């Protein structure tokens, strides 16, 4: 397994996974922008990419913008490993890691709780859903990076 920076040539595989795992997938341009302006990492087997994480940081704060594992590889500890690699790779001056998550995404919320993320707020009707007429709230979560590094 390799953990490396996302490259332009990865976009087709990454977008392919995103289209399966996300109710409202990021378009290719958003991943392109992430390669150019954020930190974008992939997990790769010899057979191809099976996970990715996008994050940004500035001074003492970081934000996890997207994280996913392709469906066949989910539930085997890869999401946990990927999040750990992201946290371990943050510069030492980063103290807090923030993220937004759909209230219905119990699997991700459980993962975040296990890294000692706590809910610090909620955004009403923040996310679009596959039903144009429905919106979904986002939980705003935050962890203390030094605590999470010990997990």
Ligand X SMILES: CC(C)(COP(=O)(O)OP(=O)(O)OC[C@H]1O[C@@H](n2cnc3c(N)ncnc32)[C@H](O)[C@@H]1OP(=O)(O)O)[C@@H](O)C(=O)NCCC(=O)NCCS
Chain residues binding ligand X by CB under 6 A are: 21-22, 67-69, 74-80, 101, 105-108, 110-111, 114
Nearer to ligand X, 105 or 119 (CB): 105
CB of 50 to ligand X, least distance (A): 9
Task: Give the count of alpha carbons within 13 A of 121, CB side only.
Answer: 8
Helices (H), 8-65: 11-21, 28-37
Closest residue to bound ligand X by CB: 79
Nearer to ligand X, 101 or 145 (CB): 101
Nearer to ligand X, 59 or 98 (CB): 98
Residue 133 CA: distances (Å) to CA of 16, 27, 110, 123, 130:
25, 20, 28, 17, 9
CB of 43 to ligand X, least distance (A): 10
Nearer to ligand X, 19 or 22 (CB): 22
CB of 5 to ligand X, least distance (A): 19
CB 49 within 8 A of CB 20: no
* Among candidate residues 85, 64, 75, the one with its CA nearest the CA of residue 110: 75
């Amino acid at each position: 397994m390799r953990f490396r920076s996302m490259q332009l040539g990865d976009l087709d595989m990454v977008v392919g996974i995103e289209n399966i795992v996300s109710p409202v997938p990021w378009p290719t341009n958003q991943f392109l922008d992430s390669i150019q302006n954020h930190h974008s990492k992939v997990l790769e087997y010899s057979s191809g990419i099976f996970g990715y994480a996008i994050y940004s940081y500035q001074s003492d704060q970081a934000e996890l913008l997207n994280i996913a594992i392709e469906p066949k590889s989910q539930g085997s500890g890869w999401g946990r490993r990927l999040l750990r690699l992201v946290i371990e790779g943050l510069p030492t001056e980063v103290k807090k890691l923030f993220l937004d998550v759909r209230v219905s995404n119990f699997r991700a919320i459980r993962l975040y709780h296990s890294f000692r993320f706590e809910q610090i707020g909620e955004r009403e009707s923040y996310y679009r859903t596959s039903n144009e007429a429905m919106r979904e709230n986002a939980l705003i979560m935050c962890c203390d990076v030094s605590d999470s590094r010990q997990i």
